[in-house]
Structure 1
Amino acid sequence: MHKFLQFFRPLIKFNYNYPYWVLGTTALAAIVLGSFAVQLTVDTDLANLLPDQNPHVKSLDKLQETVGGETAMSVAIKSPSFEDNKAFARDLIDSTLAMYDNKRDAPFFERVSFRRETTFLENNALYFATNNELSDIKTYLKEEIQKAKEDANPFLVDFGEDEESASEEESMSDFEESYNALIPSEYAISPDSTVMVVEFYPTGSKSNLSYLRRMFSSYDSLLAEINPQSYNQAMEVEYGGRLKRHLSEIDSIMNDVFNSFASGISSVILLVMLYFSFKKYTNYRSASNGEESSFWIHLIRLPVPALVIGIPLLISLAWTFGITYFVLGSLNTMTSVLFVILFGMGIDYGIHFYARYIEFRAEGTPILEAFYQTYDNTGSAIVVSGFTTAFSLFVLILAQFRGFSEFGFIAGSGIILALLSMLYIMPSVLLIFERLNWIKFNEREVVSNDNSDSMMNRFPMARNLVVLGLVISVFVGMNYQKLGFEYDFGKLEPEFSEYEQFNKMAGQVSHSDKRNPAYILADNQQQVIEIVDKIRQKMKTDSTPTVLSVEALPERFPTSEEANNEKLKEIAEVRSLLNDPFLKEQDDPQLDKLRKAAQTQQKLDVDQIPDYFKNQFLNKQGEVGNFVIVYPSVGLADGEKSIAFKNDIGKITLDSGKTFHAASTSIIAAEMLELMRSESPWMVGATFTVVFLLMLVAFRSLKWTIIAMLPLTVGLVWLFGIMMLTGMMFNFYNLVVLPAILGIGEDNGVHLASRYREEGSNSMWEVLSSTGQHVTIGSLTTMLGFSGLLLTNHPGLQSIGEIAVIGIGMTLIAALTFLPALIQWLDDRNWIRF
């Protein structure tokens, strides 16, 4: 590493000769790239975290192209009067559809779902029944006829009445479920008719945030103008649904990022100012020239260290996110917090450089020579720790999961640029500040310590601390299986009072159990029928089924002349059974429904089908789509159940060998979880390997490499121990920071081991009093950078902050206790060389 620094040594002289030119050009580049960095947006679409070639992502893209993936804006209306709700809804629909977006030169909404025309389906319901449903209906009617015959026989004694009654009720239940799914109520209302829900379909994309903000802002004004209370004094109106929650989540993340940035960075700056103010004070106290500075001089110069370190760091951050704009175009949920994290991580290198520089200057070393000595001593450790951190993060780029790969690219690039800024821009800032007399040093005497064997220089209780640290690590390692993974997505999402309030009202409207469907897009209608059959076979044979039902219009609406004739024949058989003398005169609501539903005697046309029913089966061109809708029987908020559902229907292979992949956001989430779960061990292992190899190259000693790595290893094990004790679990968000902790945590070992090799045997207290302070402040600044996430409203982002703060804290404690004890113990036995 010394050879690497020697290669760039001429830059030091260049910075010394032309400080204003260096700072000016780099700052100008930062301004240009920063203007692009501020244009970065946060993409919360889970599908974009998977590789483009993923078959489920391809299927989802194809589905959105052919069918569309529109999300409705729902409006919930509540009052004691159904008629008042209906009157308000009609006026609201007219006003809403008239809303116009001048910026896009298009209406905000294109259509509405309000009143459902059910009469046609009531009169032709059996035409849309599946073959299985028709078979069940015929079985039910035959049982009713048999029962009527038995009731008419006065001499029949039936000892199996209970079993027959149960069978009849089951058949009735199946019929009711199918009928109600086919023919819902005319309006989407609650059982007591006090709540009504209307759905509007936007013309713009939900990814267009400025469009959504204009739309919701205009809608607020519209509702205020209409005045719902003029229709009914008790009327309440809530709107939004998933669409508004989507915007709220993005705004929440952006606010969280800003707030964590403000709190984290202000804490970091305050800590840096206080630490270097303390160092300056001790310098003045130990000064040999007797010159003292007043309290006000100290106070005025308090921000100087923050400026010296902060200016190069801000330049590097502007470069990093400007490059990110051109390479990636946007941030995701995980990378959105990297600005504050990189601030906390990047400032470490500046702290080490500046701290050693002022130590040399306080000894009377001239400016240029102080630069050279800082490069030759601390510079090597800074480059080693910077490169190991950066390359450990760059390893993540190899991951298919973009949450890993994009985090690795941005964080790794940010570390490299911060390292370069601290090594080659900070000297220019230091020189300018020295010429402006903003940095002041008093020379202090350099006291040589020849008593290297003094007990005051040895680290106490070395063997005991080593044994204790190893025992704790072994105990945690033996119980590693207690570490858990949080699969429940609901626990990782923020709560929004507006959304909860809307759900509380809209949730009173009865909903079908058929939610969160997955879609399988076929090439033709024959393949649709084959896919339906395959899934139904799976449902019959699966011991742990995750599929509630499967729907396809070709199965309900015959598309060929042969299928149509077969359907009409089945309906005629039902009519025949209904006309049986034993049923014909019966006055029964269920039989009346069937008599009405069995009126179809000729082929129906697609145009005759009500929109509310056929829209779910149509493509963007208004034609019947070749796709299958699969409804889950399990809650997909649970990641494990979501994975099980994906495994059941995610991949369907027909007898011809043709394979189709299901598409939905839940399928994408399940695929993402599986990818994370499979890649995480490899990413952590690869990161650890890269760190080890780079440190081996830097130290050119296997023994010193292992010594410097131990604080990282032991600290990481201690992190796992705390997670076990507190019940903390890894999850979709915080798992990405684990490789980052590996890269960050090794810094402490590198600096302390390097300084000990520089100072020699029995110098641990001297190392800790100088470099120990630097690594402590460096780790604390990084922890403060992450700690801003603890104040966010997003549970997933909070978990990143928790794992990072505890993990970095444990590696710091291990570096300040376990590592000195280990080195002292090995040094006492002459097992290490210098």
Structure 2
Amino acid sequence: MTTSNKASHSRIYDLFARWSTISYRYGGWVLLIALLVAVASGIYVSRNLGMNTDTTEMLSEHLPFRVNMKHYNETFPQDMETLLIVLDAPTPEQARMATERLAARLKKDTANFHDVYAPNAGDFFERNGLLYESVPELEQITDRLAAAQPLIAHIAQEPTLTAFADVLTRAVEELHKGRSMELRPVLSGISATLDARLRESPRALSWQSLFNAEPQKSKYQELIVVKPRLDYSQLFPAEQSIAALHAAAKDVGVTGESPVRLRITGEVALAEEELNTSLRGMEYAGIITFVMVVVVLYFAMRTPGLILNVLVCLTLGLILTAAFATVAVGHLNIISIAFAVLYIGLGADFAIHFLLRYREILENGAQPVEAMKISGGDAGAALTACTITNAIGFYAFMPTDYSGVAELGIISGTGMIISLLVTLTVGPALLRYLPRRLPAKSTAKASVGRVLELSLKWHKVTYALTLVASVAALAILPQVTFDYNLLNMQDPQGEAVKTFRELLAEADHSPWHATALANDRKEAERLAQQLTKLPEVKNVVTILDFVPAEQEEKLQLIEEMALTMGPITFSSQAAGKGDEIPVQQRNALEALAVALDRFIAERPDHPASATARELKSSLAALFARLDGASLDERRSLLNSVENDLLATLPSALQSLRTATEATPFGQQDLPTSLASRWRSRSGDYRLVIYPAEDLNDNDALRRFVRAVQQEAPNATGAPMVSLEAGEAVVQAFVQAFLLALVGIIIALLIILRSVKYTLLVLLPLLLSSLFTATFTVLLNVPFNFANIIALPLLLGLGIDSSLHMVHRSLNKELVSEILIHTSTARAIFYSALTALVDFASLMFSSHRGTASMGIMLTVGLTFTLICTLVILPTLLRPPAQRAEA
């Protein structure tokens, strides 16, 4: 070391030697003041520290994609921060009715919801829905209804199971005689309905599907878009609105027992679910971590008093850092809340180094006051250097566009300074009273040292393995990727995530689409035409698409349909309750079975024979169930079958009657609730652009976004936000890492006054960073919005560990064989082990982002430990020893 460096070191050494000695001598007063400060800080934090969970504020508002998003949200504010309610039902009639009832109920709750919009519900689409069909489809519907009119009219006059079976029996007999009738949808639908009832998973028969001659699907889906009132002062801003939504659903009969199933997704629900699973994962991790950290500290300290000392210093440091965050920032965000995790990892490192150095000096026979002076000076000088480099690493994020991490940087960077002061102030004060007895000589010293001796003994092998691993890592490095898909970070079993992924599978209505704005109709038409030509785009929708073509020809067919149907009146006749009713129902069903048998036997090659066999089989199963049941059970089963078959007929007839009242309309006639979502008050037209590829693939996402931006630079939406935000995050971390690296190099050159030892400090950091990045490829855990936050912590721990080793080597001029047996090596090992158990528990979180952060930290810390305790000591060997070797 140079003379000036020794002088500088001497001043820092003397300062902290005196400081820690004073804290030790006046330990009682120091602890009392610390307690009062902790209590006051805790009260201040609990009353003033806020929580900002608005993820849109995580990145600078001046970024182009934020500017586009802000402009779009100002133009169509009803589309931002929404919940998407998904209603699934066995029939389209049930789905539509539930949607209309729930939407009407939510619109009344203005205290919890700004806006409620059901895209496919309401009088407009019910009345004009047929106009959106093609002319050939309308002709087919008209023909089918004409053929089915007598059957429908008869059942409507007498809506009972007996009448329905009689009508169907006559229809089968007519089919048997050679009349051209399309009965396959009816026969198949009835068969499926009976089978569902017998499986005790009943579902109603959809008459709307029968009218359209469509096979009944397993479920029908309707959507409601809700804009809730959010309270960002709460941890879960939409909690009250979501609770009100569930209460409203219960009020209108959508419960767990009803055939209609309600699910909630959308950007707000996804954010709530992500925060919930993330915090839940942190809670579980916290419990596991606390137990494991105590175990590690026991093996490191072997004394309850020293363990308590570490925990007290950590707790006080956390409280004071939280108080600083309250003063400097005023709130935490979903990123800066990680400061506690970062502080535990680095703060424990400070306390462990100081306490193990103190213990080492005591073990060598020094008196407590002398041991305090030496350990305070040694640890103070080393920890000051670590604090400077750590603070630089964290403060480097402040100038970046990633404001969420910038806040984390200022909080954590200052937290390192607080940790230094707490460790060297409260730590010595506690040592005045804890421990009371001199600890026995550590057995860990020998065991850790013996393991580390192997790398020195086989130093040539260490060099060779390091070189090979570095070359291999450099070859793999170009494959490192960043996952822009925010869904991949969340719990895949969460209801909001599963529902959202199901909607993504519906390409025509995927919630993952781009949106663009056009100033007028002409520009909207031109832009839509240009975007449609792109191979990355499947289709483009504008308000113009809601005005159907060929209305005159379609209206003529609809009028013909109305004349064909005639004035069908649905009777409200209720099913009888006498004992003869089940007998009549059974007889009518048996007559239907006989007619089916005759048809199948004599017309086996008829196209309807297969569906006739299915229904015959279902009826046979029903008869077998009835034969083994009591009278009450038979009555109940047959009444249930009657309800299953006829419950939706009134609704389907009413919808059909309403649909025949369609009138011609233009864009100006569209309902306000629809038009306002496609054309703004200022006249801007909204274009929705659907992708041709699956955007779960990052390459497809990039292709789609870049292609759309070529034609519409102002386009926004989830794909743009995901890609642009991801690139902004990567750029922010690259910028911060380079800035931190420059700052740390300058600080190390000033502290160490040696280019050689500066490189020796940096080499383990660079190697561990290289190996960690490589393992993201090997483990298939790409960087994402969550685990990239691990980088500043790995930077801090990497610098800390290597700087401690180099500083101790220079300070006491120790050779590697002695250095690996010192408290410094043991402190690095146990502080890293403490951090490892702290972060390894995160791997088991259900939140994939948190789990990937745990993997990243575990792998990174493992490599940091190897590079610092295995590779670095071999590089610190004196030149003479290397020459002899």
Give the alignment of 1:660-699 within 5 angstroms.
Answer: 661-699=714-752
Assess, with a 3 A threshold, how the Cα gap between structure 1 residues 464 and 417 changes in structure 2: closer, same or farther.
same
Residues 116-155 of structure 1: per-residue CA shift (max 9 Å, x gap) = 51377569889xxxxxx9xxxxxxxxxxxxxxxxxxxxxx
Report what 2:839 is aligned to: 786
Aligned residues of 2:343 and 2:416 also touching (Cα < 8 A) = yes
Structure 2: segments with no counterpart, 5+ residues: 1-7, 135-209, 443-452, 557-563, 565-659
Report what 1:12 is aligned to: 20
C-alpha distance in 2, partners of 1:739/1:556? 51
C-alpha distance in 2, partners of 1:344/1:47? 28
Amino acid at match of 2:73: Q
C-alpha distance in 2, partners of 1:388/1:88? 61
Give the alignment of 1:231-380 within 5 angstroms.
Answer: 235-242=259-266, 243-277=268-302, 302-380=303-381
Aligned residues of 1:265 and 1:340 also touching (Cα < 8 A) = no
Normalised by the length of structure 2, the TM-score is 0.68
Deviation of the 1:376 alpha carbon:
2.3
Amino acid at match of 1:530: E
Greater shift, 59-68 or 309-318, is seen at 59-68
C-alpha distance in 2, partners of 1:800/1:276? 29
2:78 counterpart of 1:78: no
C-alpha distance in 1, partners of 2:667/2:725? 42
Aligned residues of 1:463 and 1:822 also touching (Cα < 8 A) = no
Normalised by the length of structure 1, the TM-score is 0.71
Deviation of the 1:776 alpha carbon:
0.3
Report what 2:125 is aligned to: 118
2:651 counterpart of 1:644: no
Report what 2:192 is aligned to: none
Assess, with a 3 A threshold, how the Cα gap between structure 1 residues 629 and 376 changes in structure 2: closer, same or farther.
same
Aligned residues of 1:399 and 1:683 also touching (Cα < 8 A) = yes
Report what 1:396 is aligned to: 397
The SS at the match of 1:632 is: strand
Deviation of the 1:352 alpha carbon:
0.7
The SS at the match of 1:690 is: helix
Residues 180-208 of structure 1: per-residue CA shift (max 9 Å, x gap) = xxxxx999x99649535352624413756
The SS at the match of 1:398 is: coil
C-alpha distance in 2, partners of 1:200/1:717? 46
2:21 counterpart of 1:24: no
Amino acid at match of 2:689: Y
The SS at the match of 2:688 is: strand
2:523 counterpart of 1:551: no
C-alpha distance in 1, partners of 2:406/2:502? 41
C-alpha distance in 1, partners of 2:211/2:68? 34
The SS at the match of 2:309 is: helix
Q: Which residue of the other structure, out of 64, 67, 77, is the alignment partner of 2:76?
A: 67
C-alpha distance in 2, partners of 1:229/1:766? 68
Assess, with a 3 A threshold, how the Cα gap between structure 1 residues 789 and 309 changes in structure 2: closer, same or farther.
same
Deviation of the 1:422 alpha carbon:
0.8
Report what 2:490 is aligned to: 493
Assess, with a 3 A threshold, how the Cα gap between structure 1 residues 94 and 647 changes in structure 2: closer, same or farther.
closer
The SS at the match of 1:197 is: strand
Residues 666-700 of structure 1: per-residue CA shift (max 9 Å, x gap) = 32222112223334433333333333322222222
Deviation of the 1:332 alpha carbon:
4.0
Report what 2:418 is aligned to: 417
Greater shift, 498-507 or 488-497, is seen at 498-507
Residues 368-420 of structure 1: per-residue CA shift (max 9 Å, x gap) = 43222113223222222232122122212222123542332233222222122
Report what 1:214 is aligned to: 240
2:882 counterpart of 1:824: no
Deviation of the 1:521 alpha carbon:
4.8
C-alpha distance in 1, partners of 2:269/2:489? 18
C-alpha distance in 2, partners of 1:556/1:85? 22
C-alpha distance in 2, partners of 1:728/1:373? 45
C-alpha distance in 2, partners of 1:246/1:20? 48
The SS at the match of 1:732 is: coil
Deviation of the 1:741 alpha carbon:
1.4
Give the alignment of 1:591-740 within 5 angstroms.
Answer: 606=668, 608-611=669-672, 613-619=674-680, 623=681, 625-633=683-691, 634-650=693-709, 661-740=714-793
C-alpha distance in 2, partners of 1:186/1:201? 32
Amino acid at match of 2:72: L
Report what 2:222 is aligned to: 197
C-alpha distance in 1, partners of 2:525/2:37? 59
Assess, with a 3 A threshold, how the Cα gap between structure 1 residues 221 and 444 changes in structure 2: closer, same or farther.
closer
C-alpha distance in 1, partners of 2:282/2:688? 38
Report what 1:512 is aligned to: 508
C-alpha distance in 1, partners of 2:702/2:867? 39
Assess, with a 3 A threshold, how the Cα gap between structure 1 residues 31 and 646 changes in structure 2: closer, same or farther.
farther
Aligned residues of 2:317 and 2:422 also touching (Cα < 8 A) = yes
Report what 1:55 is aligned to: 64
Report what 1:772 is aligned to: 825
Deviation of the 1:57 alpha carbon:
1.5
C-alpha distance in 2, partners of 1:206/1:609? 34
Amino acid at match of 1:63: Y
Aligned residues of 2:313 and 2:423 also touching (Cα < 8 A) = yes
C-alpha distance in 2, partners of 1:535/1:88? 35
Report what 1:103 is aligned to: none
Aligned residues of 1:268 and 1:344 also touching (Cα < 8 A) = no
Deviation of the 1:790 alpha carbon:
1.0
Aligned residues of 1:345 and 1:781 also touching (Cα < 8 A) = no
C-alpha distance in 2, partners of 1:391/1:229? 55
Amino acid at match of 1:213: E
